[in-house]
Structure 1
Amino acid sequence: MAAIPPPGIYVPVPTFFVGKQAADYNAVAAPLDIDAQIAHSLYLARAGIKGLVILGSTGEAVHLTNKERFEVLAGVRQAFEKEGFRDYPILAGTATQIIGEAVEQLKSAKEAGSQWGMCLAPGFFAGASTQEGIIRWFTAVADQSPIPILISGSSPVLMGRLGRYHYPGVSNNVKITPSTFVTLSKHANIVGCKLSHGDISVHAQVASNPEIDHDSFRTFTGLGQQLLPVVAVGGAGAIDGCAGFFPKTVVRLYELSVKNQLTEEEARERRRLQFKISSIEELVAKFGTVGIKEAISRLRGFGERDGTRLPLHGGIPGGDAEWANWKGLADSVQEEEDRL
């Protein structure tokens, strides 16, 4: 049986680039900031985060060359080993819809020290794709991958008679049905999925499905704002953006969510934490990778607010004025972080 990632809270980390103030800044292709990458990764590991997703959509994977991908993955792995975090879980994203190139990226990820890969559903021809085609695509990648993979994809969120799918800018509205997850879960080298949408019913149809062996296939939500209900229907945890800047708070909510018997005080704490995390997650929902980087820089001091690559440019629109709209909420969550 292939190794499966342990349950818990993972962070889809951004890839850090030098900002405009750096001497080697290049407006066309800002250089990697490996030092910031390592510092942030170690901070998360020390805060109780179970593992990292590196070079996913949040990590601007499509903006990196394969050589740069290896540098990021290997740099973080070497730092973990040096600092005593042996075998710390790393899930390496892929950023291509070419099966052969996805396999090459997974081979490189293994060489760099990653235990798992995370493959985004191919969405360029989403309108013409069939579930059988998606099954064959993931099967072809998994057959050749030297490390087990997880599926990062969308499922339908029904709104009236219209279908809406998470992350249209990345997955192009590609649809993966619960039955397709059931089929793919039976592949020996496919060990889980990340569902980044708000439909708890769909999470339940995967995470609670009796046709899936949940000891060999784990279901993670991509949204900490629904961590408690997802865990209640069998989810293994979250791969959550705001855990990149409020790690202890999200980890604490997970611990309370998986606990079977709570005191009245713990039950109140769990509701309070879920409310605050759900609220601050709106920053991520509104600004995506740019918002995550902004928060990490402002709240934790890692990286530059403008440390992105084109076509992403600068920090959140509105700068200080926009951040002021979120400061009160961020301060409220920070109180929880300080307490923990």
Structure 2
Amino acid sequence: MTTPQSALPPPPGIYVPIPTFFTPTSTLDLSTQLTYSLHLLSHGITGLVLLGSTGEAVHLTRTERIQLITYIRRGLDTAGYHATPLIVGTASGSVEETLQQLHDAKEAGAGWGMCLMMGYFAGSVGAEGVGGVGGWWREVAEKAEIPILLYHYPAVSNNLKLPASIFESLGTHDNIVGAKFSHADIAAHSAVTLSPHLDPSNFRVYTGLGQQLLSVLLVGGAGAIDGLAAVCPKEVVALYELGMRFLGGRGSEEERRRVLEMARRLQWCVARAEELVVTWGAVGVKEALRRRGFGTGGVRRPLVAWGEMEGRTEGWGEWEGRLRAVEGVGEEVGAFLKGLE
């Protein structure tokens, strides 16, 4: 295996970690997968992330993974989205299996891999062994055929929290082009995004939590790979655009004040609605999409679909109200931004 000679990070913006849709018999629903992907792109999403946590990557076989990536890449190309970034997740603790998944992703048409550091041996690694975590990522990067992003998600990695020094060290590797941070620690974001040891044009950090998007942009983040954007794509894109417009310093002082005011309003609504994703993960996202005409809401065991969770479905009205609030403010933001053009 040979690594790319000139690895570039994905463009800044909003990416959706899209769920994997299943038919009622739990096979891949590729038709819905593509229809939904095109729906997202029509609302301004920068790129797609397949087979991440929301995509139930650990529930798919190698054959299914290849089939899904291939179908989406070909479908996007046929629809004219040739340049749309396609990032594919890996979730294996084995270096060799991770490299195989990255090879398969490349052959199927993906441009980047997003590699989750598994935490099975977190107890053994401990504070003295975080170099082993960095070594794992470095070995993958040195042998991978596509550039990779480091996926830091303590909640699914045995709560292993990594220091900024690891990302400062790895962020200069030619084949490591960014990271996704799925934790709520803004200080940790800042320690990496503002580090003088890293070049933000070569190593970009994306938050996995849309409820902190505005804050992350203000400390140099590149955008988000965000679960709520799966349900409210144009609204999360609008929040990103407000943040970038404010940071760009365009317009009069009054216009910038209004931009920040609108951004804060939308961020508050997004933060409240994001609790759906935080609480229910892929199950909640799929149920929200089912109610919007995408898929059946089906998941694979050990996850249980929304309708099968006894005594929990009556609370959906509150979630729907929060989603509608995001959409309502999003409409105001859209009109506001259009007026500034």
Runs of 4+ more than 4 Å apart: none
- Residue 271, structure 1, aligned to residue 264, structure 2: yes
- Residue 283, structure 1, aligned to residue 276, structure 2: yes
Q: Give the partner amino acid of 1:141.
A: V
Which of 3, 7, 17 is equivalent to 2:12?
7
Task: Provide the residue aligned with 1:160 in structure 2.
Answer: none
Task: Provide the residue aligned with 2:216 in structure 1.
Answer: 230
Task: Provide the residue aligned with 2:150 in structure 1.
Answer: 151
Task: Provide the residue aligned with 1:131 in structure 2.
Answer: 130
After superposition, where does 1:154-303 map in structure 2 within 5 Å?
154=153, 166-167=154-155, 170-259=156-245, 260-261=248-249, 262-298=255-291, 300-303=292-295
TM value normalised by structure 1? 0.90
Which of 56, 61, 65 is equivalent to 1:60?
56
Q: Give the partner amino acid of 1:34.
A: L
Q: Give the partner amino acid of 2:289.
A: I
Q: Give the partner amino acid of 1:283.
A: L
CA deviation after TM superposition for structure 1 residue 62, in Å: 0.4
SS of alignment partner, residue 149 of structure 2: strand
How many aligned residue pairs are there? 316
Structure 1: tracts of 5 or more residues without a match: 20-24, 155-165
Task: Provide the residue aligned with 2:322 in structure 1.
Answer: 329
Contact 1:178–1:202 under 8 Å retained in 2: yes
SS of alignment partner, residue 270 of structure 1: helix
Query: d(CA) in 2 for partners of 1:87 and 1:71?
Result: 20
SS of alignment partner, residue 194 of structure 1: strand
Contact 2:48–2:87 under 8 Å retained in 1: yes
Q: What fraction of aligned residue pairs are identical, expressed as a percent?
A: 47
Q: Give the partner amino acid of 1:140.
A: E
Instruction: Note the alpha carbon deviations across 1:254-282, whole angstroms, 9 max, x for none.
Output: 01111233433322211111000001001
Query: d(CA) in 1 for partners of 2:135 and 2:11?
Result: 27
CA deviation after TM superposition for structure 1 residue 85, in Å: 0.2
Task: Provide the residue aligned with 2:31 in structure 1.
Answer: 35
Query: d(CA) in 2 for partners of 1:94 and 1:327?
Result: 32
Which of 111, 115, 119 is equivalent to 2:111?
115
More helix by share: 2
Instruction: Note the alpha carbon deviations across 1:50-90, whole angstroms, 9 max, x for none.
Output: 01110011110000001100011111101100000012101
SS of alignment partner, residue 263 of structure 1: helix
My pick for the range that moved more, 89-98 or 318-327, is 318-327
Contact 1:193–1:220 under 8 Å retained in 2: yes
Query: d(CA) in 2 for partners of 1:144 and 1:87?
Result: 25
SS of alignment partner, residue 14 of structure 2: strand
Query: d(CA) in 1 for partners of 2:259 and 2:293?
Result: 31
CA deviation after TM superposition for structure 1 residue 327, in Å: 2.2
Contact 1:193–1:219 under 8 Å retained in 2: yes
Structure 2: tracts of 5 or more residues without a match: 1-5, 250-254, 335-341
- Over the aligned positions, Cα root-mean-square deviation in angstroms equals 1.3
